Amino acid sequence: MIVIVTHAFGSTGVCWYHPDTDLEIIGGVEPEVSASQNGVRVYSYLHQTPADLLATAQAVYETLAVDPAADLRALATHVRSDTGRGYEPAWLIWSDERNAWWGPDGHRYVHHVSVAGRFTRKEATRRSRIRTWQAGERPPEVLVPAPPYGLTGEPLTRWVEERKAEGTAKAIKDRVTTEQIMGILQWVTNDAAGRKIV
């Protein structure tokens, strides 16, 4: 499921789309289910809609009926693209330094992935590079894709730990590659300057 959370005119809405929905045109496609302060809408036969999805949509409606502007962004699996056209998979930022997730908008740290902030990959990359990464240490922050819709309990915990390990390994590999490239550039610069390199 692709889950999109929108906020307009002081009200929040949540839409659940089929996983194969084209992310470029998702705004022009009817979702399978949506929830807002007005209620839950089902866009297909009720018996074809998973019970857990209906229960989640009902809970969202009950939350929004009390607080139409409730911050439900943590439900999103996808966020609006940096280009402003379409959506892209959401990314989370794990702070190894704080042993916590960056919260929504990066303003605080939270301890459960279900309430972690959702960012575009570009924004998550930009935000995660604000800390100095000391040589020989683990990266202070690691990018992790938002978990798939419906993953909970022990499977969610396992999935998150695997993604954090993959993110850490990728960050270390990228850093080593960057350091190698910088070393080559330094060598070429020194060689071009006519210095003898031993």
Query: What pLDDT digit, counting tens, does each position of 54-92 carry?
Result: 999 999 999 999 999 888 988 999 999 888 778 999 999
Say if CB 70 and CB 64 are below 8 A apart.
yes
> At 138, phi and psi to the nearest 5?
-70, 155
Residues 104 and 150 grouped into a single domain: yes
Last residue of a domain, one of 33, 57, 80: 80
Q: What is the pTM of this model?
A: 0.78
First CA to last CA distance, the chain? 57
Report the DSSP beta bridge partners of residue 142. 94
Sign of the C-alpha dihedral computed for residues 105, 106, 110 and 111 taken in this order: positive
C-alpha torsion 91→94→100→103, nearest 10: -30
Residue 184 has a pLDDT of 62
**Rounded-to-integer distance, Cα 180 and Cα 157, Å:** 35
Q: Is residue 194 part of a domain?
A: no
Residue 196: pLDDT band (50, 70, 90) is low
Last residue of a domain, one of 53, 80, 107: 80
Residue 186 has a pLDDT of 65
Residue 131: pLDDT band (50, 70, 90) is low
Q: What is the pLDDT of residues 142-181, one digit of tens each?
A: 999 999 998 889 999 999 999 999 988 888 887 666 555 6
Residues 100 and 174 grouped into a single domain: yes
Residues 136 and 95 grouped into a single domain: yes
Residue 130: pLDDT band (50, 70, 90) is low
Q: What is the mean pLDDT of the chain?
A: 85
**Rounded-to-integer distance, Cα 72 and Cα 10, Å:** 13
Domain span at residue 155? 90-188
What is the percent of the chain where pLDDT is above 90? 50
